[in-house]
Chain A
Amino acid sequence: MTIVEMLKDKEHIEERVYEALEKAQKSQKDLNAVVTFIDPKEQLEHLDEVKGGLLEGVPVILKDNVSTKGIKTTASSKILENYVPVYDATIVKKMRDAGAIFIAKSSMDELAMGGTNLTAATGPVRNPHNLECMSGGSSGGSAALVAAGVVPMAIGSDTGDSIRKPASYCGVVGLKPTYGRISRYGIIPYSSSLDHVGCFTRSVKDAAIALEVLAGRDDFDMTSSFEPVEHYIDAVKGDVAGKKVAVLKNVIDAIDNEATMQCFNDVLDGLRTKGAVVEVVEMNEALLKALLPAYYLIANCEATANHSNLDGIRFGNRKDAESSEEIMIKSRTEGFGPLIRKRFVIGSYGLFVENQEKLFRQAQRVRRLIVEEVNRVLSEYDVFVAPASVSGAPKLDDASRDQLSDTYLVAENHMILGNFTGYPSITVPMGLSDGMPVGICLTGSAFKEGELLNIAQAVEDVTGLCDMKVGD
């Protein structure tokens, strides 16, 4: 069931919520996507207080970096394995006020750093379409649970492509709106200037409803926007006549997967048939190749500072030692996984006074150039598109990636463009590649979420992949 369908039936909310909870519990053995289950009893008792809300009685799953008052929030890290927040993230309040019922917190890559969901403290999340494959990350648990039909909506966060990549691998819609569109207050951060909150759904219309609930200015997040929130569902018409769609040549040139390209080209043909103007554009290749290195620097530099609060002193997992300094060192050393420690070292290195100019600041300048390059394209097109992944989800033990190949640098990481610019970006399923789902990523201009969702709807209309879930 989609959100749209659920809202039509308000007679069976309680059954539906417990059914979702049961399904989530049953899925655990296969998917391992849940970190903490939430008893919905109390929420259901208060449901009449939020009657008529846009998410009335809709079961929702939260990524485990979303702070929930009184409910364990671990960000899938050992250092936070016993952390219970004393406050709710702004989006939690917003969704609750709209009638959403939270049933679980989902697994993620440790502290949202990663694209595989293999680094979660509770172990890897498996892809519901093939349990030998990864879900993708970092919001892998949320993507897998929506794909498995447990809930119609789950929250994710996206710093590089952490919503849009797992959405592609799991065959669901993954939306990351404009930076500042959704409050980040209460989301355990990764990299402040790149972090976005977004959602997974199984239809574009559901994404529009979710966004309307989540979006809006929050005085607790100074980077949140005063831009008025649209009634997005009204914008979602799938009407693309005359719309200009840019296809990123650099990305498709770097993709060597015929099945993926077949899906992609079918979608483009469908859009053309609907009257869209689809043209191939080329971006500066050198800038695209600089995307990933610049991203790593900015993200790791910000992350190393952002996570300096995880010291075992006030909350989280404290390791006893002789002095307060040793407590901090021991708690951090034992609390973080090796990948996280590696990123902190890189981040610290990039911020050292002797390195900062040529590393961190240089990366920020590169980011600016890339934003200008994207602006050049978007000044002439409504959206630009590319496959969200080269292929379907890799196997759990896949270590074959050549991190310096064009395929990896450009084809697998172009969605970072949405984080560098902060522009709204969405992954929509476009078909199966060798039996596994792949998505198409569409990116539009700042605060033009309505337009983006409208074009995404046209894609969904072309593919017919609405409310696709495993077992269908």
Chain B
Amino acid sequence: MKYDVVIGIEIHCELKTKHKMFSAGPAAFGQRANTCVNEIDLGHPGTLPSVNKQAVRYAIMASTALNMSIDRLVRFDRKNYYYTDLPKGFQITQQFHPIGSNGYLDIETEDGIKRIRIERLHMEEDTAKQFHLDTQTLIDFNRSGTSLVEIVSLPDMSSGKEAAAYVSKLREILFYLGVSDVKMEEGSMRCDINISLKPEGSEKYGTKVEIKNLNSISNVQKAVDFEIERQSKIYDENGRVAQETRRFDEATQTTVSMRMKEASVDYKYFPEPNIFPILLDSEWVKKIQENLPELPDQRRTRYMNEYGLGSYDANVLISNKELSDFYEEVCKVAKDGKIAANWCISELSGALAKRSETLSSMKLSADHLGALINMILDKEISGKQAKEVFEDVLEGKDPKEVAAAKGMKQVSDTSAILALINQVLDENPQSIADFKNGKSRAVGFLVGQVMKKSKGQANPAMTNQLLTEELKKR
């Protein structure tokens, strides 16, 4: 049987604030366990929360980029439950009045653009991290109190591909905004997927299953695809899908059950009494909204319009913000954005991959790469020479100096090239004969001889053209 699929996604994203959501404790990743905590993060008696203004700013930025309306009256609530990773015994969140609501995100699908509605974005604090060993549980409170936003979509997706496209797009936006590291593998962006099926045309959806532990975008797609197949099979055999939380298992590439979801838990939400409602200044909000960094979609359009890039090249650059930012620097010098894009996408990316380096770890300067590209465009050196010079440019050297030191220059003077051509033709009568007999390969050999005589400095295109003309004269 065929089934309709509905998928909704909840994303928890750690904000890049210096301090925690409700304390001045440092927010840092990868530090020694329990060193980035203060009495507030540990939920000691008598401590009180203070709202992190930077987190509010970031939440406004994210909400704005996701086309949401902003609730200027910021309110927080308590979510009550007992768990060892939750030191206060409640989490401060925004249950009743999320700062952002009713937004959307457009994703690209095979059938064109699809709009995914986003229900809410709210601020909250993260929990501690637990390590369950055989005989004990260790708790690292460094993450406790870290600022988070939770972004909840409506169930508008219907395939693994769409789910992956949504997560990927959202991730890109948050990264471009600079509000989060969005590292799924490190948990600074976590993704929970709700998925349920119904027979095509039927009204009633089946049981909703939640999938957790998705640490990459490709796993999002794999997990959803697997889950659709798994649930379809159960329904095909007239079985019942259990209401449960599953996780994606990397090793088997399947989803496995984590725990059953019984009657929903009552978190006894109520307004946080220690934080009065905060009315944000409308000018402050406006200023934040008007000064958003360029978003990936805007940049994509600009690349296509300003630099004449095709959508493929534009997408490749934009998917790597560091490279894309570097590309823009190159374009400030380089006279041709398209050629600059080619260099960034193929030569530069290739070189980085080969060396297992990143842009920031290299001495390479954007000005130098721009200058190198202009040297090709100005026919100062050949493309082949440029690749050789590039090796030194990667090490931070000036391409002009490198070319000069290597004695490289491109000869584009017609009479000089002609003189070389005639010299070569005189030395190779057999090749001329071959050419006359229709062996076009002879041209290639002769061009090679000219290049050799010029020590590689003859303009190859000109050489080719002039040689053909001279051959015809003989």
Contacts and interface: CB of A to CB of B under 8 A. Distances in A.
Interface in B60-108: 78, 80, 82, 84, 87-90
A328 B139 CA distance: 15
A351 B80 contact: yes
Interface string B270-284: 100111100000000
A91 to B, nearest CB: 11
A239 B90 CA distance: 49
A309 B39 contact: no
Contact of B78 (A191, A305, A311): A305
B440 interface: no
Contacts of A399: none
A80 B273 contact: no
Counting chain A CB atoms within 10 Å of each CB, the highest count among B39, B49, B139, B273 belongs to B273
Contacts of B84: 311, 313, 324-325, 328
Interface stretch (B40-48, B292-300, B348-356, B424-432): B40-48
Interface residues of A, number: 45
A75 B45 contact: yes
A368 to B, nearest CB: 13
A315 B49 CA distance: 19
A314 B45 contact: no
Interface string A78-91: 00100101110100
B266 A353 contact: yes
A281 B282 CA distance: 44
Interface residues of B, number: 29
B151 to A, nearest CB: 24
B387 to A, nearest CB: 59
B138 to A, nearest CB: 11
Contacts of A360: 270
Interface string A283-309: 000000000000000000110110111
Contact of B45 (A310, A324, A328): A310
Interface string A332-376: 000000000000000010011100100010000000000000000
Given A305-B89, A356-B268, A222 B46 contact: no
Interface string B158-190: 000000000000000000000000000000000
B51 interface: yes
Contacts of A144: none
Given A87-B39, A305-B80, A221 B48 contact: yes
A222 B270 contact: no
A200 interface: no
Contacts of B48: 184-185, 220-223
Given A220-B50, A309-B88, A188 B274 contact: no
Interface in B357-390: none
B46 A308 contact: no
Given A301-B270, A348-B268, A67 B46 contact: yes
Nearest to A66: B46
Nearest to B50: A222
Nearest to A328: B82
Contacts, number: 102
B137 interface: yes
Given A67-B45, A185-B46, A185-B48, A352 B266 contact: yes
Interface string B31-58: 0000000110011111111110000000
A187 interface: yes
Contacts of A463: none
Contact of A356 (B38, B44, B89, B270): B270
A48 interface: no
Interface in A361-414: none
A122 interface: no
Nearest to A313: B84
Contacts of B139: 313
A89 B274 contact: no
B389 to A, nearest CB: 57
Contacts of B276: 222-223
A192 interface: yes
A253 interface: no
Given A311-B89, A314-B42, A185 B268 contact: no
Given A308-B89, A313-B84, A222 B44 contact: no
Contact of A314 (B43, B50, B270, B273): B43
A308 B39 CA distance: 15
A324 B137 contact: yes
Nearest to A304: B80
A73 B84 CA distance: 23
Given A223-B274, A305-B78, A86 B46 contact: no
A216 interface: no
A311 B82 contact: yes
A222 B275 contact: yes
Contacts of B273: 191-193, 302
Nearest to A192: B273
A73 B39 CA distance: 15
A254 to B, nearest CB: 30
B80 A80 contact: no
A238 interface: no
A350 to B, nearest CB: 9
Nearest to B266: A353
A229 B275 CA distance: 22
A191 B89 CA distance: 15
A221 B276 CA distance: 11
A348 B82 CA distance: 13
B289 to A, nearest CB: 25
Interface in A187-223: 187-189, 191-193, 219-223
A187 B82 CA distance: 22
A186 interface: yes
A223 B271 CA distance: 14
Contact of A86 (B39, B51, B82, B266): B39
A85 B44 CA distance: 8
Contacts of B266: 352-353
A85 B46 contact: yes
Interface in B1-56: 38-39, 42-51
Taking each of A65, A184, A189, A360, which has the highest tally of chain B beta carbons within 10 Å of its own beta carbon?
A189
A348 B89 CA distance: 13
B23 to A, nearest CB: 9
Contacts of A305: 78, 80, 89-90, 268, 270
Contacts of A186: 46-47
Given A67-B46, A308-B82, A309-B44, A352 B275 contact: no
A351 B268 CA distance: 5
Contact of B90 (A184, A308, A315, A356): A308
B386 to A, nearest CB: 59
Most buried by B among A185, A192, A308: A308
A188 B45 contact: yes
A188 B46 contact: yes
Contacts of A324: 84, 137
B125 to A, nearest CB: 14
A353 B275 CA distance: 22
A328 B49 CA distance: 24
Nearest to A65: B46
B82 A219 contact: no
Given A222-B274, A314-B43, 16 more contacts: A73-B45, A83-B45, A85-B45, A184-B48, A189-B45, A222-B49, A223-B274, A304-B80, A309-B43, A309-B87, A309-B88, A314-B87, A325-B82, A325-B84, A353-B266, A356-B268
17 contacts: A85-B39, A86-B44, A186-B47, A191-B273, A221-B48, A222-B51, A301-B270, A305-B78, A307-B89, A308-B89, A309-B89, A314-B44, A315-B45, A324-B84, A348-B268, A351-B270, A356-B270
Interface of B: 38-39, 42-51, 78, 80, 82, 84, 87-90, 137, 139, 266, 268, 270, 273-276
Q: Please name the 5 residue pairs, one residue from A and one from B, whose CB atoms are nearest each other, closest first.
A: A308-B89, A351-B268, A192-B273, A193-B273, A309-B43
